[in-house]
Amino acid sequence: MAWKNKPEQPQVGKNHSFWQSWLHAWTGLKTVVREERNMQTHMVLGTVALLAGWFFGLTVNQWLWLCLAIFLVMLCEINNTIAENICDLITGPHYQPLAKKVKDIAAGAVVFAAAFAVLIGLILFVPKIWQLVSTWW
């Protein structure tokens, strides 16, 4: 079993199968969740929103809006991470104004998507919370 002790060679060519592509994609998702604190926060808040949707019994259309908002924020966070890593790869430890601009714009996209998600959350949940609170009074 000496082959198990060999370090894995980095892949430099194309993926040979759908499953190989899938494994690389899954590795990328695990990496962003493990390494990015903001993605972890988005996942927790997304889970809370999904649980709230289940609790309040959202309609199909409401579920679609909620899922769109959650996934949009996560996609923007993934793209933000990509932009940051590419900038860091290119600039190394040196400051570059254009790299800062790219990072700021990517972060702004996350904030924009998060604002959309908050708006969707308010539209979906405030009436349901209000109805629940008003029954207690």
Nearest CA to 70 out of 44, 37, 32 is that of: 44
- What are the residue numbers of the active site? 77
Query: Three-state secondary structure along the chain?
Result: CHHHHCCCCCCCCCCCCHHHHHHHHHHHHHHHHHHCHHHHHHHHHHHHHHHHHHHHCCCHHHHHHHHHHHHHHHHHHHHHHHHHHHHHHHHCCCCCHHHHHHHHHHHHHHHHHHHHHHHHHHHHHHHHHHHHHHHHC
